[in-house]
Chain A
Amino acid sequence: MTEPRIGVYVCHCGFNIAGTVDVKKVAEYAKTLPNVVVARDYVFMCSEPGQDLIKQDIKEHNLNRVVVASCSPSLHEVTFRTAVAEAGLNKYLMEMANIREHCSWVHHDKEKATEKAKEIVRMAVAKARYLDPLEELEVKAEQSALVLGGGVAGLRAALELANYGLQVYLVEKSPTIGGKAALIGYVDPKTKGAEIVSKMFELIKECPRIHIFTNSELIQLSGFAGNYTAKIRVNPRYVTEKCTLCGECEEVCPIEISNEYNFGLNKRKAIFLPFNNAYPPYYAIDHRVCVKCGECEKVCRFGAINLKQEPKIVELKVGALVIATGYDPYRPFKGEYGYGLHESIITLFQLARMLDPESPTKGELIIGGKIPKSIAFIQCVGSRNTTPGAKEYCSRMCCTTAINNAIKIKEKYPDTNVYIIYKDIMTYGSDESLYEEAGKKLVQFVKFEDKIPRVLITPEGLFIEVFEYTIQENIRIPVDAIVLSIGMLPPRDIEELIAVTRVSCGGEGFVREAHLKLAPVEAPTKGIFLAGCITGPKNILESIRMGSAAAAKAMSLLSKGKITIEPMIAQVNEEKCSGCAICVGVCPYSAISIKNVNGDRVAYVEKALCMGCGTCNAACPSGAMQHLGFKDVQLLAQTRAVFGGEVNV
C-alpha cells in the first residue's frame, strides 16, 4: 500500500458552512492530521474554480487521496468523484465529510460546531487512508422501458421512449388507459381532457413499439439499472377483441356498483365500458365484483365473453422504469362540509365530470335533481389542513379547476349566482387570466382565513356561514348546491408500489425525487424515473412535460447501450474464506454461491447481482468478505477516529 498523501478541502458553501463553522481553523487542523499533505478552504468547492483547486493539487502534490469537507454526499459525491477522475486519480479515492447538513446547519454554537467539524474531517481522513482504487463495471443495457401508469404522464413518457426506438411496456391498473385527464371535463376554457387523451391514443395506436397491458400491475422488480426483470400480473378482462360494444351484456348483468369513471355520479354494471372512446376499445368485467353468473356470456352474440380467463404472469426484461401512477382525489369523510348528508353537496371532480358533454347529465348542471340557482365552491378541502383529515400541502390545481368550471357554469347559466369561497387563489403563472375572466363573468370570491366555513343543512335549504376576511363579518350565504374543491392525495396503493420498486416517500406521502432541482424526475435508485402527480400535485401540462423529461433521462441512461455500475460491491478474500456459507444465506439477492477453488470450498460473489448492501460482510466471521468502499478497516478507522484513535492494520 503506497504511503497515503491526502488533500483536505473545506468548503464555505457561501454562508451555509462558514456562517457557523470556522473553516480556516478546520483547514489548519486538517493539516496537522497524519498523511495530510495539503489543506485548503474555498467559498464554493463544487464550482469550477473549486474543482480546479483539487485537480491542480493532485498534480502538484501527487495526492493519492482527497477529502472534501462540504455538503452531503447525496448532493455532490458524483461531482467531486468526476473532478478527481479528471485529474487522473481513481474516482473512489475521494471521501466526503458532511459538515453542512450534519454540522453547520444543525448547530448554532460556533465553538462546538467548529470542534465537531474538525472531528468529522478527522473521521473522513481516517477512512480516506484506507480507501482503495475501484474499477466500475459495465453491463449491457436493455433497450426497453417499463412505464407504470396509463395517465397523460405515462402516455407521454411511453410515446417519447418509443420515438427513441425502445420497446415500451405500458402497465395500467384499470381496464383503460387515459387516467383522470380523460374524465375531467374542461382542462381549460377551450380544451377538454378527453380530446387530449384521444389524440394521444391515436399516436399510441400507430406506434408498434408500445405494448399496453391493462388490468395489470407490477408485482415484482429485480435486477438493477439497465437490467431489470419485471413480473407483471395481467388480471383477466373476460372480454376479448371480438366485442363490438353492442352493450347487450350490460343490460342483463345483475351487479350494479357506483361508477368510478363518473366519480360516483351514476352506477355501472360489473361488465362495463369505462368511457366512450376508452382504449382498448372493448368492454371489461370488474373481477372484484363479478359473481360469474354467466348471463352476459349467454347473451353475447359475438362470443366475445370468456369467463374462464385466468390471471397470467408476464416477465419482461427492461432497461428503465418510469413510475407515473398518478394520484387519488381526496375523499371527504361523511359530514365534512355536509358531504354525504345532502345530495346537493358534491365534489369538484363530480362537477367537472358533470360539465363534460359525455357525462351522465350530458354536460348539464343538474345537482340534487335541479339546475341550481346559486352554487358555491369551497376551496382547500383536504389541503392546507383546513379540515381534520386534510394534508398540509396545497394541491395546486383545485383553484384553477374550480375557476375553470365556474366560468363554464356562468357561460351556460348566466343568472346562476356562483361563489368561490377560498383561502388563497392559486392561479399561478398565466392561469391568472382565468381569475380575471372569472371576475368579468361575475363569479363572486369570498375569502376566509383561519376560521373555516360551515355548511348548514336546514329545511329552508343550504347555507354557508363564513367569517369573511375582508370585512371581518360572519355572513350567511344561501345556496342551492355546494361543490367541495377536493385536493390530491398520494394513490391509496402507494404502499405496494414502494414494496415492489423500493422508492421512498417524502414528508407529504408522495414519492421523493433524488433532488428537487438537481434531479427532479429521477428516483434515488438509478434506473427508476418519476413522472406526473406521483411526486406531488401538478397540472396536466406539467405532468405531460415531466413525462417527456423522464423519457429524456431514461434515454440518457440507455442511449450508450451499456451501464456503468458502482463498484461498491462485496469481494471475497479467498485465503481467509473457510467456505462456511453463512454469507450465502444472508444475501437478499442470492448473489453468493460456494465454488471450490483447487480443492477447498470458497464463497463466490456474482458481480452483476450484488447490490452492495454489505450484510454479508457483517455476517462473515473471518472477515474474508469485505464490502468495497465500506470495508471493516475503513469503518473501524472512522469509529476510532471519533476519539482520535488509530486503527492498527
Chain B
Amino acid sequence: MSSVLIVGGGVAGIQAALDLAEQGIEVYLVDKAPSVGGKMAYLDKTFPTLDCASCILAPKMAALLRYPNIKLIMNSEVLEVSGRAGNFRVKILKKPTYVDWSKCNGCGVCTEKCPTKVPNEYNMGLSQRRAIYIMFPQAVPKRAIIDAEHCIRLNPPPKAKEKAKGPLCGVCERNCPTKAIRYDQQPEIIDLNVAAIIIATGMELYDPKNLPELGYGKHQNVYTNLEFERLVSATGPTNGEIVRKSDGKHPRKIAWIQCVGSRDVRFNHYCSAYCCMAATKQAILAKEHLPNVECTVYYMDIRAFGKGFNEFLERAKKEFGVRYIRGKVRIDEIPESKNLKIVYEDTAESYLKTEEYDMVVLSMAVTPNSKLSIPLELAEGGFIKLKNPYLDPVSTTIEGIFVVGAVAGAKDIPDSVTEASAAAARAALIAKRLACPTPEVVK
C-alpha cells in the first residue's frame, strides 16, 4: 500500500487526508504555514447556517493528530516532483522553524517574553505578535515558530550587529521550559515516494490595491472582507469588537462592496462565488454585535444559489434589515471624519447618489495559489486545469495528480469538502494498486 501526498492543509486538504487515513492509507500533508487550517481558520462564522467556523474546522484538525498514518510536514514547500502515477518522487523543502517541534509543547511562555513586536498576519496585520509565535490559539500542531526575518537574534539589525560582541537577545531560549529553541536549525530536504498527489493549495485574496478608485490603503476605514472577519471574530485582534482603524469607535453605518476584482475584465473574469453570501453573513454578524448598525450591500447580481442560501438572504433583508443596492461604486474619503463617501448610481433610480459610511468592507476576489513547482496546466483565471471535467472531475492534466478546493475553481466550503472526498476516492485507488491509473478509455 503506497502513500499519498496532499499539498495544502486547508479544509479541503484536511478532509482528503482524513478520508484517505480512514481507509488505512499513509498520508503526507504539506503546508507552507506553521499550522493547518488554511483560510477557514481565519473565519468566525460560516454561511448559511452561521455555525462557527472553528466548530467545523477544529475537530477535523484535531482528528488529524489521531491517525498515526497522517504525517504533517509544516512550514514546507514542494520543490520538485518527478516520476509517474503510482510512483512519484517528491522533493520537499522543510524551512527551519528554529524550534525543535518534538520538544515544544506549545506552552507559549516564549511568545510572551520575546521583545520584538511585529504585525500579526493571522489578524491581517490588525494586531501584533512576537518574533516567536504560535500561529493561532487552536493551531494544529500547536508549536512555536521563530519568524527569522524579524528575530533580532537570527537577523540582527545592521547597527546593533557591529556594536554587539556575541549573539544578541536569546530571551526565548532562556525561558523555554523544554529547551526546544534551535537557532542553528537549517532547512532540510525531505524525499518522499508517493502513489498519488492531491493539490489543495487554496487561494489568496486578490490585492485590493489594484483598484485605486476604492481607496484601499489610502482610506483608513476601508477593510477587506477577511480583515472584517477577523474584527468580528471572538479570537480576533479586538475580541469581536467592530471598531474603526481611524478612531477606534463603533461604526454606525457599514457598506459592503461586491465583485471587487471579480467579474471584471481588467482583473479577473470569473466570479468568486463565495462573496455574496459572505457579505450577507458579515452584515448579519455586524447586526448581532452592534444592534443599531445600518448595513448596506452594493452588488451587481446577488448570487444566493446554494442550499439554504436564498432563505439566508431573505432573512438578512427582513429580519436584520440589511439593505441591498444594485450599482458599482467609487469611494472618496471625507478628510476630517475619515468617513467614506460612496459615490454610486442606484441603477434602480438612474440617479447618481452619494452616501456617507463609517466603514467600508471590500468583498475581494480570490486568486488561486496555482504557481507551484509542479508543471500543471492552468485554465483561464489561473486555476489548475481539469483533464476532463465531466469524466474525471478531480484529475489534473498529469495522471495521478488531483486538484481540489479553491485552486481548482472559486467555490465555497461545502463544495470544497465534497471535492476533497472525491479526490480521496481517486487517490486511494492508485495507492491501493486496485486499478492501474485509469487510462483515458475513449479518445
Indicate whether B156 reaches chain A with its CB closer than 8 angstroms: no
Q: From known contacts A164-B434, A470-B347, infer whether A48 and B49 are also in contact, taking CB-CB under 8 Å.
A: no
Q: From known contacts A430-B381, A555-B428, infer whether A517 and B56 are also in contact, taking CB-CB under 8 Å.
A: yes
A330 to chain B, nearest CB (A): 15
Which chain B residue shows the least CB distance to A161?
Answer: B425
Indicate whether B378 reaches chain A with its CB closer than 8 angstroms: no
Indicate whether B287 reaches chain A with its CB closer than 8 angstroms: no
Contact A86 B390 (CB under 8 A): no
Report chain A residues within 8 Å CB of B389. Answer: 541
The CA-CA distance from A76 to B422 in the complex, in Å, is 24
Report chain A residues within 8 Å CB of B302. Answer: 424
The CA-CA distance from A516 to B413 in the complex, in Å, is 9
Indicate whether A432 reaches chain B with its CB closer than 8 angstroms: yes
Stretch at the interface among A292-300, A342-350, A542-550, A594-602: A542-550
Stretch at the interface among A195-203, A366-374, A453-461, A571-579: A195-203
* Interface SS of B by simple majority: loop
Indicate whether A18 reaches chain B with its CB closer than 8 angstroms: yes
Stretch at the interface among B220-228, B245-253, B309-317, B355-363: B309-317
Contact A548 B234 (CB under 8 A): no
The CA-CA distance from A165 to B306 in the complex, in Å, is 34
Contact A559 B22 (CB under 8 A): yes
One of A19, A187, A424, A551 near B425 (C-beta < 8 A) = A551
What does the 1/0 interface line of B381-405 toward A look like (CB < 8 Å)?
1010000011101100000000000
Contact A199 B23 (CB under 8 A): no
Q: From known contacts A163-B429, A548-B425, infer whether A469 and B418 are also in contact, taking CB-CB under 8 Å.
A: no
What does the 1/0 interface line of B49-88 toward A look like (CB < 8 Å)?
1011011101111110110000000000000000000000
Contact B425 A552 (CB under 8 A): yes
Stretch at the interface among B163-171, B268-276, B334-342: B268-276
Contact B391 A396 (CB under 8 A): no
Contact B44 A14 (CB under 8 A): yes
Which chain A residue shows the least CB distance to B381?
Answer: A430
Stretch at the interface among B123-131, B135-143, B144-152, B178-186: B135-143
Contact B52 A396 (CB under 8 A): no
Which chain A residue shows the least CB distance to B438?
Answer: A163
A147 to chain B, nearest CB (A): 14
Contact A46 B59 (CB under 8 A): yes
Report chain B residues within 8 Å CB of A472. Answer: 348-350
Contact A44 B54 (CB under 8 A): yes
The CA-CA distance from A394 to B309 in the complex, in Å, is 8
The CA-CA distance from A50 to B65 in the complex, in Å, is 14
B294 to chain A, nearest CB (A): 21
Which of A75, A545, A549, A552 has its CB near the most chain B CB atoms (within 10 A)? A552
One of B56, B309, B380, B411 near A433 (C-beta < 8 A) = B380
Indicate whether A288 reaches chain B with its CB closer than 8 angstroms: no
Contact B308 A516 (CB under 8 A): yes
Report chain B residues within 8 Å CB of A41. Answer: none
Contact B347 A47 (CB under 8 A): no
A381 to chain B, nearest CB (A): 15
Contact B301 A425 (CB under 8 A): yes
One of B348, B383, B410, B417 near A517 (C-beta < 8 A) = B417
Contact A13 B271 (CB under 8 A): no
Q: From known contacts A47-B138, A429-B410, infer whether A16 and B52 are also in contact, taking CB-CB under 8 Å.
A: yes
B31 to chain A, nearest CB (A): 15
Which chain B residue shows the least CB distance to A516?
Answer: B414
Contact B413 A517 (CB under 8 A): yes
Report chain B residues within 8 Å CB of A164. Answer: 428-429, 432, 434
Report chain A residues within 8 Å CB of B138. Answer: 44, 47-50
Contact B235 A14 (CB under 8 A): yes
Contact B348 A470 (CB under 8 A): yes
Contact B306 A396 (CB under 8 A): yes
The CA-CA distance from A421 to B349 in the complex, in Å, is 19
Indicate whether B173 reaches chain A with its CB closer than 8 angstroms: no
The CA-CA distance from A170 to B374 in the complex, in Å, is 38
The CA-CA distance from A454 to B58 in the complex, in Å, is 51
A511 to chain B, nearest CB (A): 11
Indicate whether B160 reaches chain A with its CB closer than 8 angstroms: no
Which chain A residue shows the least CB distance to B415?
Answer: A542
Report chain B residues within 8 Å CB of A546. Answer: 418, 422
Contact B304 A394 (CB under 8 A): yes
Indicate whether A565 reaches chain B with its CB closer than 8 angstroms: no
Indicate whether A242 reaches chain B with its CB closer than 8 angstroms: no
One of B49, B240, B304, B425 near A549 (C-beta < 8 A) = B425
List residues 154-174 of chain A with CB under 8 A from any CB of chain B: 160, 163-165
Indicate whether B244 reaches chain A with its CB closer than 8 angstroms: no
One of B24, B59, B423 near A79 (C-beta < 8 A) = B59
Contact A47 B422 (CB under 8 A): no
Report chain A residues within 8 Å CB of B56. Answer: 517-518
Indicate whether B296 reaches chain A with its CB closer than 8 angstroms: no
Report chain B residues within 8 Å CB of A203. Answer: 391, 441
The CA-CA distance from A432 to B379 in the complex, in Å, is 14
Indicate whether B26 reaches chain A with its CB closer than 8 angstroms: no
One of B23, B44, B309, B310 near A555 (C-beta < 8 A) = B23
Indicate whether B435 reaches chain A with its CB closer than 8 angstroms: yes
B192 to chain A, nearest CB (A): 23
Report chain A residues within 8 Å CB of B438. Answer: 163
Contact A430 B270 (CB under 8 A): yes
Contact A50 B58 (CB under 8 A): yes
List residues 257-310 of chain B with CB under 8 A from any CB of chain A: 262-263, 265, 269-273, 288-289, 301-310
The CA-CA distance from A433 to B61 in the complex, in Å, is 36
What does the 1/0 interface line of A362-406 toward B look like (CB < 8 Å)?
000000000000000000000010000000111010000000000
Which of A152, A506, A535, A542 has its CB near the most chain B CB atoms (within 10 A)? A542
Indicate whether B419 reaches chain A with its CB closer than 8 angstroms: yes
Contact A165 B434 (CB under 8 A): yes
Which of A47, A71, A76 has its CB near the most chain B CB atoms (within 10 A)? A47
Indicate whether B230 reaches chain A with its CB closer than 8 angstroms: no
What does the 1/0 interface line of A416-456 toward B look like (CB < 8 Å)?
00000000111111111100100000000000010000000
Which chain B residue shows the least CB distance to A75?
Answer: B55
Q: From known contacts A13-B52, A48-B138, A429-B270, infer whether A553 and B441 are also in contact, taking CB-CB under 8 Å.
A: no
Indicate whether A82 reaches chain B with its CB closer than 8 angstroms: yes
List residues 1-54 of chain B with CB under 8 A from any CB of chain A: 19, 22-24, 44, 46, 48-49, 51-52, 54
Indicate whether A308 reaches chain B with its CB closer than 8 angstroms: no
What does the 1/0 interface line of B425-443 toward A look like (CB < 8 Å)?
1101100101100100110
One of B24, B235, B393 near A560 (C-beta < 8 A) = B24
Indicate whether A262 reaches chain B with its CB closer than 8 angstroms: no
Contact A48 B422 (CB under 8 A): no
What does the 1/0 interface line of B71-110 toward A look like (CB < 8 Å)?
0000000000000000000000000000000000010000
Indicate whether A114 reaches chain B with its CB closer than 8 angstroms: no
Indicate whether A520 reaches chain B with its CB closer than 8 angstroms: yes
The CA-CA distance from A19 to B310 in the complex, in Å, is 27
The CA-CA distance from A203 to B438 in the complex, in Å, is 10
Contact A199 B391 (CB under 8 A): yes
Which of A191, A199, A424 has its CB near the most chain B CB atoms (within 10 A)? A424
Indicate whether B370 reaches chain A with its CB closer than 8 angstroms: no
Indicate whether B233 reaches chain A with its CB closer than 8 angstroms: yes
Contact A428 B22 (CB under 8 A): no
One of A206, A393, A560 near B311 (C-beta < 8 A) = A393
Contact B391 A394 (CB under 8 A): no
Q: List 24 A-B contacts (CB under 8 A).
A: A12-B234, A15-B44, A18-B234, A46-B54, A47-B59, A48-B58, A48-B138, A86-B66, A187-B390, A196-B391, A392-B310, A392-B311, A393-B308, A394-B304, A424-B301, A424-B302, A426-B305, A429-B270, A430-B410, A542-B418, A545-B394, A545-B415, A548-B393, A560-B24
User: With A76-B59, A430-B379, A545-B422 given, can you name 13 additional A-B contacts, CB distance below 8 Å?
Assistant: A47-B138, A191-B390, A196-B391, A429-B272, A432-B262, A432-B263, A517-B46, A517-B51, A535-B307, A545-B393, A549-B422, A555-B23, A559-B23
Give the 6 A-B CB pairs with smallest separation, nearest first: A548-B422, A552-B425, A549-B421, A47-B58, A14-B234, A47-B138
